[in-house]
Amino acid sequence: MAVLPFKRKKQETFVEDTGAMKGSQNIDTKKLKLVIRVSNSSVETIEKRDKVLKIISTILVYAFLVVMALVIILPFYWMIITSLKTDTEIRATTQTFWPQIIMWSNYADCLGRFNFPLYLGNTLIVGIISTIGTLITTIFAAFAFARLEFRGKDTLFTIFLMTMMIPGEMMVITNYITVANLGMLGEDNAIGVFAAMIVPFWVSVFYIYLLRQNFKQIPNELYFASKVDGKSDWNYLWRVMVPLAMPTLISIFILKLMGSWNSYVWPNLVADNENFRLISNGLRSSFTATDGNPQYGLQMAATVLVTVPLLLLFIFFRKYIMRGVGRAGIKG
């Protein structure tokens, strides 16, 4: 019983008795030592080799991650330093990783071409109104799907989810015809154009799905208790469910706001008038690609102005953003 060998390929594993069983019935398992021997190398050398291998692989993992992180962060860094360079330095054949002369004036100059306050205001109007609308419709629909019983519930929910598979271009074509034929797209029709940028985005199937999952986790007992208290469904929704689902609602709010900030395609189609443009459209149209020699310093100053608010939002609400986005991968 001193050695319990079992062989596999070249590897040999056995338990060595180091006095565990001496003169006693009780086996002191602490004194049993597992010995693994591969082609006559001892435990110490194997342990040492494993340790070295582990350190090497950890170093390799870190090296890979750091290199990739630099690749990710480089465009941000390049944007910021280019926004502070002179045009000659930007176009020099020897690129510099720090501006020789810091040109704060690029920022002042870019505002002459890129009407940041106007676009910011437009984007916030569209973003906030469409976000509030979405939150309201989403809360109602998620409540109905999570809490209420009605015929055809599962079928309807499945149809809703299936619409997420359809490329948006299918809808965009007719939606454009709809808003155009309703006379919403006139040059001076501010209300029409803004409504066209807002109303179609008051529904999001994905957020309904997200909130429904969250509502479903709220225990039924709370619902029955509020029923016993004589509270209506309406009361229960606003007093119990909405406060409990607040983290998800904040996630939806921020993601939706970011969506408006980044939306380009639809606003580009409906907002012809310079004064109604949102921030992405304003950015692209202020610096068209047909410019003979684009002034990259000014362009990058403008992109910094567009990018930094989002990054700030991300830093402050990192938890909500990453949770809201990450939830998509967990199939429910």
Q: Interface residues for another protein in 119-138 (CB under 8 A)?
A: 136-138
Residues, the chain: 332
Give the residue among 220, 253, 252, 204 at the shortest CA–CA distance from 146: 220
163 is an interface residue for another protein by CB under 8 A: yes
202 contacts 140 by C-beta, under 8 angstroms: no
Among 149, 154, 188, 221, binds another protein (CB under 8 A): 149
Amino acid making up residue 53: L
Q: Which segments within the chain are labelled E, that is strand?
A: 6-8, 11-17, 32-38
Q: Minimum Å distance from CB 24 to another protein?
A: 31
Among 114, 119, 143, 209, binds another protein (CB under 8 A): 143
For the record, the structure tokens of 96 come out as 């510099």
Q: Minimum Å distance from CB 23 to another protein?
A: 33
Q: Minimum Å distance from CB 22 to another protein?
A: 30
Q: Which stretch binds another protein (CB under 8 A): 22-30, 86-94, 100-108, 212-220?
A: 86-94
Q: Minimum Å distance from CB 283 to another protein?
A: 6
Burial of residue 139 (CB within 10 Å: 0-12, 13-18, 19+) is buried
Among 45, 76, 235, 247, binds another protein (CB under 8 A): 76
* Three-state DSSP state, 289: coil
Burial 142-165 (b: 16+ CB within 10 A, else e): bbbbbbeeeeeeeeebeebeeeee
244 is an interface residue for another protein by CB under 8 A: no
Q: Interface residues for another protein in 263-282 (CB under 8 A)?
A: 264-265, 268-269, 279-280
**Distance between CA atoms of 115 and 92, rounded to whole angstroms?**
29
Please identify, using beta-carbon distances, which residue of 21 and 195 lies nearer to another protein: 195
169 is an interface residue for another protein by CB under 8 A: yes
Q: Interface residues for another protein in 288-327 (CB under 8 A)?
A: 288-290, 296, 299-300, 303, 306-307, 310-311, 313-314, 318, 321-322, 325-326
193 is an interface residue for another protein by CB under 8 A: no
For residue 37, give every residue at least 6 positions away whose Cβ sits within 8 Å of its Cβ, in sequence order, or none: 11, 12, 13, 14, 43
Please identify, using beta-carbon distances, which residue of 137 and 275 lies nearer to another protein: 137
x/- mask, another protein, residues 43-72, rule CB under 8 A, reads --------------xx--xx-xxx-xx-xx
87 contacts 254 by C-beta, under 8 angstroms: no
**Plot region of 40 (φ>0 → left; ψ -120 to 50 → alpha; else → beta):** left
Please identify, using beta-carbon distances, which residue of 44 and 149 lies nearer to another protein: 149
216 is an interface residue for another protein by CB under 8 A: no
203 is an interface residue for another protein by CB under 8 A: yes
Among 20, 32, 79, 240, binds another protein (CB under 8 A): 79
Q: Minimum Å distance from CB 90 to another protein?
A: 7
**Distance between CA atoms of 86 and 88, rounded to whole angstroms?**
5
The residues that bridge with 37 in the sheet, in sequence order, are 12
For residue 127, give every residue at least 6 positions away whose Cβ sits within 8 Å of its Cβ, in sequence order, or none: 256, 257, 259, 260, 261
260 contacts 313 by C-beta, under 8 angstroms: no
Please identify, using beta-carbon distances, which residue of 19 and 168 lies nearer to another protein: 168
Q: Minimum Å distance from CB 73 to another protein?
A: 6
171 is an interface residue for another protein by CB under 8 A: yes
